[in-house]
Structures are given as C-alpha cells and as structure tokens.
Chain A
Amino acid sequence: MKLFGWFGDKALHRGVHVPECKEQTAHLPIRRMNFPPVVIVPMSQHAGTPAIPIVKEGQEVVRGEPIARPDGFVSVPMHAPVTGKVERIALAPSARGDLSLAIYIRPYPAASQEVLYGEPQNIDQMSPEEIVRAVQETGVVGLGGAAFPTHVKMKLPEGRTVDTVVVNGCECEPYLTTDHRVMVEQPRAVIHGTRIAMKALGAPRAIIGVEDNKPDAIQALRDALAAESAITVEAVPTKYPQGAEKMLIEVLLGREVPSGGLPSEVGVAVFNVATLAQIGDLLPRRQGLIERVITIAGTAVRKPGNYLTVLGTPIRWALEQAGATEQAASVILGGPMMGPTISSLDVPITKGVTGILVMARDSFNSRHTIFPCIRCGACVEVCPLHLNPSRLGMLARKGRYEEMESDFHLMDCFECGCCSYVCPSHIPLVQYFRVAKQMNRERKARHAAASA
C-alpha cells in the first residue's frame, strides 16, 4: 500500500511513523535529581539470575560499594547507589507487579555522596577475558530497556567471531530522549565504550546508528570521532521500531538474524549508546553502575526533563521531583509503544528504566470500539518481522495458541506493537500475542512437569 519508501537501501521498509513527541525534552540538558529519602535496590534488575546480597541489615555502605554479588555468569553485581545505612533486606514491588527481594538503603543526609570506590585500571593492557570480567564487575546491563547483562554479549561462544559492533542510538520510542542527551553530552564516553566493546569482541569496526531526527547527536559524535576510521556514525531515517536490535542490523548491514538466534550468528554485536557510555565511563575507574539518565515526560508533568537518577529511586519520589499534576492518570515505564503502565508508585527505578511517562486521562485516545478484522492488511504491511498479525489475531481469538506458534512464528514477535498501532479495527493484536505466548509457556511447563 506504500508508494514510497522502497527507495534507498538504508531504511526500515516495514514499521510505522509514530508521533515523536520528543520536543518536550530533547533540548533539556541532563540534570541531577535529588536523592530520595530511601533507595530500593532490587536484586533482579536484569535478565538472568538475581544477584545475592552481601550486606547485612543495619550495615553502613558507601556510595559505589558492591552490595550484592552476581549469581553465576548471566548475572551482575549491585552497587550501593548512595552512602547510607542498609535499613532492611525485604520484598519490594516491581514493575511487573510481583514482589522481589531488594535492599533498602537510607542515605545519610549529611554525606557528601562522593563515589570513593574504585581504582584506575588500564584497559589497553587487558585481555578480552579480563575486559569481560571487568564489565561484569561494573554491573552494567543493557540500558536501552532489555537489561540483558552486557558482559554476556561480549563473551562469544567458541568458534564464533564478530566483525561489526553496532551501537544503537536510534531511540525510536516516542517521548524518550535519554540516549539523545547522552550522545550530545557524553560523546567521548560513548566512543570510549565502543572501543572497549570492539576490543572485547575482537571486532575491527563499529557503526553507531542514529536516527536522523537527532542531528545534534550525530554531529557531536562525529566531532568527537575526528580521524577515527574504525568507528563510523550512520544517520538512518527515523522510523519505529528501528531501535530493535534485529531491525537495526538489517538496516545498517543488510543481514538477517536467524529466527530464534543471536546477532553474533551473523557476526554482529549490538549495544545501546547509554550502555557503552556507562562502560566507557566506569570501566577505566573500576566503578559500578549506580545511576542512569531517565526521561520524565508526558502530558501531566510540570517539569519534564532528562534526569540523572540514582538507581533505586522510588517512582513516587521521581514524580514528586518532576511535579506530576492532578491530571496524572497513568504512569508508563519506558516509551508509549512498548512500556508497561505500573500499578504501584513504590516501584523503584532500575537499570532498565529508560523513562517515566506521566499521562493525563485520555491522552492517548485509547477507548475505541473493537471492530472485527476487515482484513485490510495494514498489520501485515507494517510488521517488521513479516509476520501475519491478522491471521495470528484470528487464531488468538479462537484460542488456537499452539497453531500460532507452530505455523505462524508467534515466538519471533518481539511485541513492538506496530500491528496494534495501525489496526483500524482497534484489535489489541500484540496484547493477544502476549497472552498467547504466556499460555504456550504455561502449557509447556505443565507438559514438562507431567513428563518428569
């Protein structure tokens, strides 16, 4: 149905143009948010096994000090975000809705909150294995939202090589501007982190992909790169969901990650810009990840902005600081296309939180009547993975979840939400798919339990 958009090789052919809504915060420099009266550090802020606390209740901790150790390789340590006293180690609410173990720390009001931890280390003299170990020590995970431990991506399976490191500066979700500000304000850290990733993976080149709605970020990175030839900055036409790993690889390199596979299978490793900025910043000083930049924006917030926030800050505190208004009716963690709404304001900000959107009632005009599918094919046109959401949706309505997985590649769907976005019948397609995936997971677990 699209007449244009097929020309030019470096563009995402599928996907949608969503309202960007970034003008609210894109020009605002990163500011530090006040420390909250209590920080809540969950042990599971990442994909993988939760960390294990190594402090006791009542113990004093110094900002930057490790307070939890990783449990295995696919896990990361936690560091004390503030200087203060461990108040308790107990269950805390999480964004998913369930309770998980967390360390509550009450900051000392009079402490200088300087990071005294860490010691310089010379990355040039480190072997790839040492870098991977050092990255794990920093506790850095994917800051773009997925929160997958970064050092795991830097450790390649035996016999596999990576020729290109792709640095993801797309930030295709509307409203969010954290990556944008990090690129503008800390281009050197981004580049330094990129070099470290290249060294760890033995990759000869790196491409920083930035959407063309951030010309200042592209310029800042190019200026900082100067004569460096192994790293290039590529402007890609803005389109959602270009920031998805697989999509960006396809756009920049024309390679297709096999279904169910990892980018390293096609010789690529993808890192978010903010992740690499943190690595570039923390690794030479051997410090841990204790704060990150989040965007607070939306239709019901008085002081939107990009806030440097200590991890573990309760969302309630963050919203007080940013001045949520009386109209606030929903709070979304992350962007409006993929972020979940939260039911409790006591959820802490974790490593994977890219932003908080505070929306007034009916900001999204989302109360529509659902019509039957009229088979217009709009979802098929936009699905970046070339799935058939229309058919999947019909099967989901009938509860034929197994067929969705076996015949229509349900598990490839990464829930970008383009299908739901365009559906003129307002069918909650991606929502159906989430349910279907969950039902399939539960059924498999039951089968496994029954056969065991």
Chain B
Amino acid sequence: MPPLAPEIELRTSPHFHSNRSVEMIMRNVVYALLPLCAFSVWNFGLSALALILVSVLSCLVTEHLFCWLSRRKSSLGDWSVTITGILLALTLPPGFPLWMVAVGGFVSVGLGKMAFGGLGFNVFNPALVGRAFLQACFPTAITAYSPALAKNRFTEFIPTTFTPPFLQPPPLADWIERVRVDAFSGATPLMQQKFDKVTADWQPLFFGTVSGSAGETPALLILLCGAYLAARNFMDWRIAFSMLASAFVSGAAFHFLNPAVYPHPWFVLLSGGLMLGAVFMATDMVASPVTPTGVWIYGALMGLITVVIRNLGGLPEGVMYAILLGNAVSPLIDNLTQPRVYGVHPRRRTA
C-alpha cells in the first residue's frame, strides 16, 4: 500500500482557485485612494488630514460595533469599511466639523451598510448615504468651502474643523480673507459657474489646485489611480468610462444649445466630484450591475443625471444624487439586461 497520509482530503472540483480575493481587491482600492489622500493633505493642509483620520476611524468603530452587536466576526479585515471611510472624507469640504464627520461615518456604515447586512448587501454606496445624510442635516456646513493652498495650512487648522459637538461652525469669511492666495471668495469653481457664470481655467481643475471637497479636485490623479485599478482588473472601467462619456456628451448638448448659461463639456468633466464619483464611487461593485450590457447603461444613466441636476437643478453638484439613483435602479438594470445564454435563441424562448 502506498504511504498515503492518514487523513484524505475530500473536496469537490474545481480544486484550483485564482489568487484574487475580496480582501485583495479592497486593499488595492485603499492603495489607489492613498495618493488622493496625500494630495488632499497637500492641497488643504492639516484639516484634511484630521478629516480623513476621523472619518476612517468613525467608520471602523461603527463597523466593529455592529459586528459585535450582531455577534459576528469583526469584518474590519476585508478593508471595505476603510474605503468607505476614505471616500466619505474625500467628498466633504476640508474644513468640515469633525463631530459631523463622525456622525457621517456612523450613518455611512450603520445605515448605509450594516443595517442591510454588511458587505455585499448594501443597496447604496455607504459613503454616499453618509454624505447625503450630512447634506440634509448640515446644509450650511457642507457648503462652507475653504481655499486651496492656503497660507499656514500645515501649521493651523481651518477654524471650522474643531467646532464643538452639536454646534454650528463659525463663519469662515474673515479667515479666508487672511489665508487665501488667490481671489477665492468661498465658492468652488462649480458654484462660481452655476451662480456667477464664471468658468475656471482647465489647468487648475485638471491638476486639482482648486477649492472643493477634500479629494475631488485632482482630476488627473484620480484618473491615474483609476487606471491602476482598471489595469489590475480591480475596477470596472466600463462604468467609469460610460459615466464620464455620457456626462461629456450630455454636457456638450446643453452647452451648444445655450453656451451662455451652460458650461463647456470639458468643464463638466473636470469640475466638482464627477471624476471622483465616476472612478471610485459609481464603480462600487456591490451597488452596480453585473451584466455586461447593464454596466454601460448604468454608467450612462448616472452621467446624464449628473449633468441634468447640475444644469437644471437648484444644486451646483449632482454627482452624489446621480450615483445614489443609479444604485437604486441597478438591480432593475440587472434584471432587464440578463445576458443571452449560449444556445438559447430569442425565438426559441417562446416555444
């Protein structure tokens, strides 16, 4: 008899498995987000760092708490909650009061993710659920933007950062006057375009040295980080591409109908949170469709809604609601675009 080991493993095929895992995908998304965090800190200073840290910490604690409450193994190890934390921070103004950030993190993970059953079951992108909640609760604080590349940004915090809990942040106008290096008046390029019809140059927009949410400004860097993820197949480039393309095309349609009111499509593409949203949030695997046709429709729909909200709605920015709406219809898109199964012909289906 051959010297077979006493315990024989019985398994079912396939015995091979590719080396990809959820943990690996999520960890790589975190890696891809780190350059954005670094840029954000360089662009906005200490407050952005505090913002990111508090947001991530709040999300981690919330996830751990919910796991503990539901007597499950803590799911911090799959890294997905870290992504939520970073993304939430990157979509908030750099000087957003930290206590509000903590609330946002709790809502993101608690309401947006764990209430549905944790990773894999959330209907909406958790970070955007948190942000939508904050936008509804603190409409002034979430539109209080601070200037990019402010003086003393590495030595002092933005005054609003340490607003005591349950209090509204102080007005920023005087502080902005003191630290700004350009003509910044408290409005992001998107707001300026919407309300003053002043369109910013493309260069600062492209390289990100403008005012805005903590991590949404550097279009080029976002594209590079996204390209890394797409190249390693950790992200569905089709969603990002179709969302950007659809925003460009619909933006162009608006622009050529009325160039005086509606911005140039390049501005649409580079301004606001579109780039960050398309590359990192619309592509959230859990909340997006899985069918090959579905992902194109999904991306196109979100791009279109973004432009419609920006141009026709009362808000300067529409990416968040566009993605949340896209998330909501994603199961429907999936159902309507089931792939044609090999060997099944439409005409035979009736038989």
List residues 100-156 of chain B with CB under 8 A from any CB of chain A.
Answer: 117-121
Known contacts A259-B342, A366-B15, A424-B20; A316/B10 CB under 8 A:
no
- Stretch from B34-42, B199-207, B283-291 forming part of the interface with A: B283-291
B339 and A380 form a contact (CB under 8 A)? yes
B2 and A316 form a contact (CB under 8 A)? yes
In the complex, how many angstroms separate the beta carbon of A203 from the nearest chain B beta carbon? 22
A326 and B342 form a contact (CB under 8 A)? no
A residues adjacent to B (C-beta < 8 A): 1-3, 16, 18-19, 174, 246, 250, 256-261, 316, 319-320, 323-332, 336-341, 343, 345, 359, 361, 364-366, 368, 371-378, 380-381, 384-388, 390-391, 408-409, 412, 415, 417, 420-422, 424-426, 428, 430-431, 434
Within 8 Å by CB of A337, from B14, B22, B334, lies B14
The answer to the question of B332 belonging to the interface, with a C-beta cut-off of 8 Å to chain A, is: no
The answer to the question of B233 belonging to the interface, with a C-beta cut-off of 8 Å to chain A, is: yes
Q: Which A residue sits closest to B120, measured CB to CB?
A: A372
Assembled-state Cα–Cα distance A387/B287 (Å)? 20
Within 8 Å by CB of B286, from A375, A412, A431, lies A375
List residues 212-233 of chain B with CB under 8 A from any CB of chain A.
Answer: 233
Q: Is the interface of B mostly helix, strand, loop or mixed?
A: loop
B residues adjacent to A (C-beta < 8 A): 1-5, 7-22, 24-25, 78, 80, 117-121, 233, 236-238, 285-292, 295, 334, 338-345, 348
B233 contacts across to A, CB distance below 8 A: 1-2
Known contacts A246-B342, A387-B341, A412-B342; A340/B18 CB under 8 A:
no
Assembled-state Cα–Cα distance A384/B342 (Å)? 8
B15 contacts across to A, CB distance below 8 A: 330, 332, 336-337, 339, 341, 359, 364, 366
A368 contacts across to B, CB distance below 8 A: 17, 21
In the complex, how many angstroms separate the beta carbon of B282 from the nearest chain A beta carbon? 14
B121 and A372 form a contact (CB under 8 A)? yes
In the complex, how many angstroms separate the beta carbon of A51 from the nearest chain B beta carbon? 28
B2 and A377 form a contact (CB under 8 A)? no
Assembled-state Cα–Cα distance A326/B4 (Å)? 6
A365 contacts across to B, CB distance below 8 A: 17, 19
Known contacts A256-B342, A320-B2; A420/B14 CB under 8 A:
yes
Within 8 Å by CB of B17, from A1, A338, A359, A420, lies A420
A16 contacts across to B, CB distance below 8 A: 18
In the complex, how many angstroms separate the beta carbon of A429 from the nearest chain B beta carbon? 10
Assembled-state Cα–Cα distance A36/B219 (Å)? 71
Within 8 Å by CB of B11, from A324, A341, A371, A421, lies A341
Assembled-state Cα–Cα distance A323/B2 (Å)? 7
In the complex, how many angstroms separate the beta carbon of B75 from the nearest chain A beta carbon? 9
Known contacts A246-B342, A385-B341; A375/B21 CB under 8 A:
no
Assembled-state Cα–Cα distance A420/B11 (Å)? 13
B3 and A324 form a contact (CB under 8 A)? yes
B14 and A324 form a contact (CB under 8 A)? no
B17 and A324 form a contact (CB under 8 A)? no
B119 and A374 form a contact (CB under 8 A)? yes
In the complex, how many angstroms separate the beta carbon of B312 from the nearest chain A beta carbon? 32
Assembled-state Cα–Cα distance A329/B344 (Å)? 42
* Leading 4 A-B pairs by shortest Cβ distance: A372-B120, A417-B14, A377-B290, A259-B343
A330 and B11 form a contact (CB under 8 A)? yes
